[in-house]
Amino acid sequence: MSIRTIGVIGAGQMGNGIAHVMALSGYDVMLNDISQQALDKATDTISRNLARQVGRGKVSEEDMNATLARIRTTMKLPDLGQTDLVIEAATERETVKQAIFEDLVPHLKPETILTSNTSSISITRLASRTDRPERFMGFHFMNPVPVMQLVELIRGIATDDATYKACHEVVKNLGKTAASAEDFPGFIVNRILMPMINEAVYTLYEGVGNVQSIDESMKLGANHPMGPLELADFIGLDTCLAIMNVLHDGLADTKYRPCPLLTKYVEAGWLGRKTQRGFYDYRGEVPVPTR
């Protein structure tokens, strides 16, 4: 099927990034959230990010205005029913995602493709709760969406070839690269990345190094652009913990046990950049390690 209209559920960091790149590539986008404040913030963020791209000469002012004109917002989930492709980018909690799909499905066109931007939850299980498991798959963007070049495409056990090909074509139209992943916990990127971050937290927990020495060691010793603890703050410690729990529960291997220190930070509400405190304190002019 030919995809021209995109519905995006969730106007947070991932959702507004997805809306941004889709509209910039010529798709008409309907962005949904349960909060008008979140929608207003998302459109403001998209405008600022596009203006930054214009300033760097990557996007023309004409294209910026056309992109913004292609994005509409709504608090009514049924409004997404007539789109060709829906990308769910809500909170990384399976019960939330299942409830969204349950509410949305009665309003969808028969041919609409449903996808989830989940970073770790079973695509097969999510698909089984809908009326179209053959037209359901994982569509996992990396953060920040306008910058990162990879999109993981995850087929559930029932996903058909036409659905995969249609989503692959969208990724190609975005100018990004698709990586096909099997439907196992964490897929490819997070199956490798999150245990590394978790091990960095264990290294901190056990006193092998402090925040600064761990991050500097990986940046200067392994040529990583960001240290693992800095990256965890950027992703969100709650998201890191949720993915580690999915890996631990789904693969039943003790090597995926979340570090108790990671759990403690999340319980304290120190979730990283979005709460101004995590492994670093961001409340001043310069981030300061918290351990």
Positions of CATH 1.10.1040.10 in the chain:
191-289
- For strand 150-155 and strand 136-141, is the pairing parallel, antiparallel, or unpaired? antiparallel
- For residue 157 the two structure tokens come to 């056990």
Contact 170, 177 (CB under 8 A): no
pLDDT of residue 120: 86
Q: Which residues are catalytic?
A: 119, 140, 152, 190
Residue pLDDT, tens place only, 212-247:
999 999 999 999 999 999 999 999 999 999 999 999
pTM of this prediction?
0.90
Whole-angstrom distance, CA of residue 134 vs CA of residue 154:
12
Residue pLDDT, tens place only, 49-102:
999 999 999 999 999 999 999 999 999 999 999 999 999 999 888 999 999 999
**pLDDT value at 172 more than 80:** yes
- Stretch 23-48: mean pLDDT: 97
Per-residue pLDDT band at 109 (split at 50, 70, 90): very high
Residues in the chain, total: 291
What are 179's strand-pairing partners? Answer: 152
pLDDT of residue 227: 98
Q: Report the CATH number of the 191-289 domain.
A: 1.10.1040.10
**CATH class of segment(s) 5-182:** alpha beta
Q: Report the chain's mean pLDDT, rounded to a whole number.
A: 96
- Binding-site residue ranges for NAD(+): 10-15, 33, 92, 97, 119, 143, 274
CB neighbour list of residue 131: distance below 8 Å, 6 or more residues apart = 105
Residue type, 90: A
Q: Which one has a higher pLDDT value, 231 or 119?
A: 231
Positions of CATH 3.40.50.720 in the chain:
5-182
